[in-house]
Structure 1
């Protein structure tokens, strides 16, 4: 229903825009540091910060520096960080066994962060692609991604992460049944309080390229793709079905990925389910904004804030974004 409005000249919408104080007073949505989750890439080494060429302003951090970044998040009011590993080729194999190694990079980084700043939440990705020499989120047999075999591997990975102290597990693999399988294992092993933020609507998108650079997965797929398990960008109704399934299996929160090209999907998910809903402003989205800003084509700070406010307007409760520390600093300032 269209809200009633007086006709001009009695109705003048510009009255509510004429000064900053009134614009603030009538703003429908607000962006705060509490809305942000900061993705951090972790690599081997000590006191190391290695820039990612395709993600200007983003670096891979050694475990000690990742802990320091989490301390910075706490200072900025960012409630949660998400960790992703740069896995050396020697640690990858077709079975992705490094994924459930208790001493793998993200598990060590989780323990370091929880020791340094226990009040900051840690979100860990549950998918095999950083550890799989085939580059896929699932186990590959004779050229086919095997769904049910992958669930067993994902379960072992999830338990190792919960034991390391992860607060939120993020199944991002898009295998059928993975949320229910992981939730059951968590219950059986008395990790009842471990949250699941399901990558419920994850699309087979071209916007993930810089992320694959950052985790060392570029080129691993060869001529393959992930279209047999990630969603078709043409589909919206399917996203609602995927979300419904994951909620029924025990997800506490859901995510749409990528973000900006899928604001319509975010809005539909929030309107339909009224559950905590998140988006990932993925690497390609970030890289485009950064490239335009570095070339002087956009005001980088204003574009950063506006892009994230769009997620809030669409219905997001929070956003995973590489812009998190920059925007939190702008908000604080």
Structure 2
């Protein structure tokens, strides 16, 4: 069955629509929103889904409006935005490196953000806002270092992954040293942050993420065609009129910003950036980076993981980073076994 359909507009422009991919995006978006409503109603004071929807539309009582709008909605918004940013950032890294393991988890951006946060915690006893800024600066600095070290008449996939693994090892060692310098209180605070958590998130974390996504997501999607052509090789892409290095650098910067900001907001959430693009590609069965499906898949994974952590273990007892780590690790093992049976590794 054909899944692509050409639509011709009055201006003579032809647009190809992948019906299966569009359907997957719509279903994942619906699932993410439905899970968000259920998550908002989950907690020490359960609220039925119908009452959650009424409260979101301004028809709830005073108690429900406070619980929903002030306590739980910001956390869910952060989960959606962090998941979307990690899913899109992971898809960009995997497409640019042409490697399914080329995700921020492997390249060391999470470790870089952790180094910035630990620096603020251990050396400066920083506040929550200062820790967030430190994590953002650490992630951006690590991304810049990887790009510069991987540059040799351009940045190529395997070199980027290898340099990222090396930088990750160095930064991880530095993080271990910072932990040995910390007091018991600082070490406890650092370990909680390093696990990745959505506890205590409020509107102060939502707005920076929202503005960043509002700017970067359209920019990334507008360059999706060039990114898809780059998967055929630099020579072919140049022949087709794609400014390869310009597009690659622009999308790498966007991916680093998305990943670093998401990590600064919620801590290093593991495996979402790695698994979301892989799951999206398997659902759409479409070649190419699958940017929009990966974005929506990441958002859905984060909300579902946070719901699991609260439903099974109680609110704030198990950080969401632990759940994503377990689910992502199981998926990675399954993927490796499947690839090995297929003779691809």
Question: Considering the TM-score relative to the shorter chain, is it more than 0.5?
Answer: no
From the two aligned structures, give the one with the greater strand fraction.
1
TM-score (normalizing by structure 1): 0.26
Higher relative contact order (CA 8 A, sep 6+): 2
